[in-house]
């Protein structure tokens, strides 16, 4: 890149009051380096001697967006207050001339970007659509954060974690250490977000890890971890500059420690660390201030989702956004005329999901017999319990297969196209069971997931419907949440292996549980007992 241009870019970025780290040369150029399929489109008034405006975009699927896409939490042009109105109007006129049928999409334009020109200019107003979002911030207050950590429920959780091992909050400053940590951070993040939102960003785009590592080397990623005996239980790798750390990069917590709330404990400790480092703001990212953000946020600003394009595009976008807003508002209201709109929508979505699911199942080979929590009926018996599983070594039967305990990585071998069951459905079932305290055992073969078995201790939590047939003092339970049809012998061997790992005095007490879909597995095990 032309060094003079780069120098003016850096200078304008430093001068621009609304600029964020996501418009810096370090962020933008590193992203294009790590994602070479995208090329920059540059709008600027640079003439070799001066620059009062710069806007870098990239084209994706016929539309223009900011470099970084969702990795760039804030997306905006660079200018100065005295030149911004003239620059933005000239820039968008130039864009329309060069790309008359294309649109631009930014999410989110940060506060305090001056936006008055979009109301004053007829040209801009008619081609623009806005959607505001809450932008929660935590203005770091060390004393308040320390008081939050001293609250009774949090002190109890910290004490329980300390009883499990050495509890430690630490900041990562060494590049090689971060390279080692990032795989576990990404795994925990992808598993949770894959379960809850069907998003596995780092699994789908491994370049994201390289990108964050390179930004870390440039001093633009703030990394902290909460651990027990050096086992990561929560982490955050936030893109940063000297004034703010953004909740953008990776944040995660281990599902095996969820009952201790390691995520919120880590964020509170992170806030204390930021205060000690002299970093005044922890940006919690736009889109709402519910859940843990409502605990951490002490200031609210407004950021914007923004569309720009030709009149037909603008009309369509404005209509869709208006309709979405009305539906959302209706769903958030209380039942009207006896109709619970939100419940009604959820039933429609569930029905559509089931239709799609069973269409996939009918087309899929091989298929799987499942025992997911969301399949358990609300009423009536639907679970059969076999008797004891005889203790026996099954190492010979599974010599070609691999069994692992509590290994989340194995779940990513799930081939949803072949199974006919969406990966997020499997992930969500596993996430819930792990958080209930159930122990997971995976059976794999050549990076293919054959089955998942669970040992449920007597004191582990169970789904309300799953536990309804159990006595108040229920025995320990084993079950398979899924296995590949036709692999019943291997699945039986998996169950034998899990049983053999339990204490000898506990083995006779264990009972098996099956779903109605698992008749062939149940029959095979019952025959082995005869």
Side-chain half-sphere CA neighbours of 185 within 13 A: 23
Backbone angles phi, psi at 7, to 5 degrees: -65, -40
Contact 268, 148 (CB under 8 A): yes
Backbone angles phi, psi at 294, to 5 degrees: -65, -25
Does CATH place domain 368-529 in 3.40.630? Answer: yes
**For a pLDDT cut of 70, what percent of the chain falls above it?**
85
pLDDT tens, 358-370? 555 445 555 888 8
Q: What is the pLDDT of residue 290?
A: 76
Buried b (16+ CB within 10 A) or exposed e, 334-370: eeeeeeebeeeeeeeeeeeeeeeeeebeeebeebbbb
Burial class (CB in 10 A: 0-12, 13-18, 19+), 111: middle
Show Cβ contacts of residue 343 under 8 Å, excluding neighbours closer than 6 positions: none
What residue has token string 């089931």? Answer: 354
Contact 445, 421 (CB under 8 A): no
d(CA 253, CA 259): 11
| Max mean pLDDT range (277-291, 309-323, 425-439, 465-479) | 425-439
Side-chain half-sphere CA neighbours of 412 within 13 A: 18
Q: Residue range 337-353: average pLDDT?
A: 51
d(CA 118, CA 403): 60
Q: Residue range 291-320: average pLDDT?
A: 93
pLDDT grade, residue 354 (50/70/90)?
low
DSSP class per residue in 148-202: HHHSHHHHHHHHHHHHHS-EEEEEE--HHHHHHHHHHHHHHHHHHHHHHHS--HH
Q: What is the pLDDT of residue 352?
A: 54
**For a pLDDT cut of 90, what percent of the chain falls above it?**
72
Contact 74, 20 (CB under 8 A): yes
Residues in the chain: 530
d(CA 226, CA 11): 38
Q: What is the pLDDT of residue 212?
A: 99
Helix-, strand-, coil-residue percentages of the chain, each rounded to 5: 45, 25, 30
In CATH, the architecture of 141-279 is 3-Layer(aba) Sandwich (3.40)
pLDDT grade, residue 279 (50/70/90)?
very high
Q: Residue range 372-389: average pLDDT?
A: 53
pLDDT grade, residue 329 (50/70/90)?
low
What rounded mean pLDDT belongs to the chain? 88
Side-chain half-sphere CA neighbours of 503 within 13 A: 5
Q: Residue range 451-469: average pLDDT?
A: 78
Domain ranges of the chain: 3-133, 141-279, 333-363, 368-529
What residue has token string 């976008």? Answer: 317
Q: Which residues pair with 380 in a beta bridge?
A: none
Same topology for domains 141-279 and 368-529, yes or no?
A: yes
SS3 368: strand
The pair of three-digit structure tokens given for residue 359, joined into one six-digit string: 């269409």
Buried b (16+ CB within 10 A) or exposed e, 494-509: bbbbbbeebeeeebee
Buried b (16+ CB within 10 A) or exposed e, 473-488: eebbbbbbbbbbeebb
Instruction: Report how far apart, in Å, the C-alpha atoms of 180 and of each of 165, 193, 262 are.
Output: 22, 21, 21
pLDDT grade, residue 469 (50/70/90)?
low
Q: What letter does residue 90 receive in the DSSP assignment?
A: H
pLDDT grade, residue 393 (50/70/90)?
very low
d(CA 125, CA 123): 6
Q: Which residues pair with 141 in a beta bridge?
A: none
- Tell me the three-class secondary structure of 238-300, residue by residue: EEECCCEEEEEEEEEECHHHHHHCHHHHHHHHHHHHHHHHCCCEEECCCCCCCCHHHHHCCEE
Contact 25, 13 (CB under 8 A): yes
d(CA 506, CA 508): 6
The pair of three-digit structure tokens given for residue 43, joined into one six-digit string: 């709008």
d(CA 335, CA 360): 34
pLDDT grade, residue 208 (50/70/90)?
very high
Q: Residue range 1-23: average pLDDT?
A: 96
Q: What is the pLDDT of residue 382?
A: 38
Show Cβ contacts of residue 346 under 8 Å, excluding neighbours closer than 6 positions: none
At the topology level, CATH places domain 3-133 in Aminopeptidase (3.40.630)
pLDDT tens, 151-200? 999 999 999 999 999 999 999 999 999 999 999 999 999 999 999 999 99
pLDDT tens, 224-245? 999 999 999 999 999 999 899 9
């Amino acid at each position: 890149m032309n060094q003079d241009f780069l120098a003016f870019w850096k200078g304008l970025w430093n001068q621009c009051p609304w600029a964020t780290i996501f418009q810096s040369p370090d962020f933008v150029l590193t992203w294009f380096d790590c994602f070479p399929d995208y090329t920059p489109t540059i709008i600027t008034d640079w003439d070799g001697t001066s620059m009062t405006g710069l806007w870098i975009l990239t084209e994706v699927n016929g539309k223009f967006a900011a470099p970084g896409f969702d990795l760039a939490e804030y997306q905006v042009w660079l200018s100065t207050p005295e030149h911004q109105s003239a620059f933005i109007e000239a820039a968008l006129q130039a864009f329309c001339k060069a790309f008359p049928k294309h649109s631009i999409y930014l999410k989110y334009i940060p506060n305090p970007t001056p936006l008055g020109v979009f109301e004053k200019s007829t040209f801009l107003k008619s081609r623009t659509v806005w959607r505001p979002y809450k932008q929660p911030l935590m203005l770091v207050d060390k004393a308040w954060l320390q008081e939050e950590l001293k609250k009774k429920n949090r002190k109890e959780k910290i004490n329980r974690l300390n009883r499990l091992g050495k509890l430690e909050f630490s900041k990562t400053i060494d590049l090689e250490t971060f390279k080692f940590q990032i795989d576990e951070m990404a795994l925990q993040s992808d598993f949770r977000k894959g379960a809850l939102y069907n998003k596995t960003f780092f699994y789908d785009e491994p370049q994201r890890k390289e990108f964050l590592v390179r930004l870390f080397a440039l001093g633009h990623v703030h990394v902290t971890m909460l651990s027990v005996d050096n086992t990561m239980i929560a982490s955050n790798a936030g893109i940063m500059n000297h004034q703010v750390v953004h909740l953008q990069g990776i944040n995660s917590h281990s599902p095996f420690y969820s009952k201790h709330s390691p995520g919120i404990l880590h964020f509170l400790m992170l806030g204390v660390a930021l205060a000690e480092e002299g970093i005044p703001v922890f940006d919690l990212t736009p889109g709402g201030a519910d859940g843990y953000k409502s605990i951490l946020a002490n200031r609210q600003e407004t950021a914007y989702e923004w569309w720009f394009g030709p009149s037909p595009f603008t009309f369509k976008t404005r209509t869709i956004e208006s309709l979405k807003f009305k539906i959302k508002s209706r769903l958030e209201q209380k039942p009207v005329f006896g109709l619970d709109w939100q419940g009604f929508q959820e039933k429609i979505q569930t029905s559509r999901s089931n239709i799609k699911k069973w269409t996939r199942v009918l087309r899929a080979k091989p298929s799987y017999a499942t025992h997911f929590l969301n399949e358990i009926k609300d009423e009536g018996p639907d679970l059969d319990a076999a008797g004891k599983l005889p203790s026996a070594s099954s190492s010979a039967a599974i010599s070609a297969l691999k069994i692992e305990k509590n290994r989340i990585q194995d779940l990513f071998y799930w081939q949803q196209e072949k199974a006919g069951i969406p990966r997020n459905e499997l992930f969500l079932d596993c996430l819930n069971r792990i958080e209930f305290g159930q122990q997971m055992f995976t059976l794999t073969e050549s990076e293919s997931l054959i089955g998942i078995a669970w040992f449920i201790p007597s004191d582990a939590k169970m789904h309300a419907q799953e536990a309804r047939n159990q006595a108040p003092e229920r025995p320990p339970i084993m079950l398979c949440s899924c296995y590949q049809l036709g692999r019943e012998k291997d699945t039986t061997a998996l169950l034998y292996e899990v049983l053999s790992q339990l204490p000898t005095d506990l083995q006779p007490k264990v009972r098996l549980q099956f779903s109605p879909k698992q008749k062939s597995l149940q029959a095979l095990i019952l025959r082995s007992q005869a």
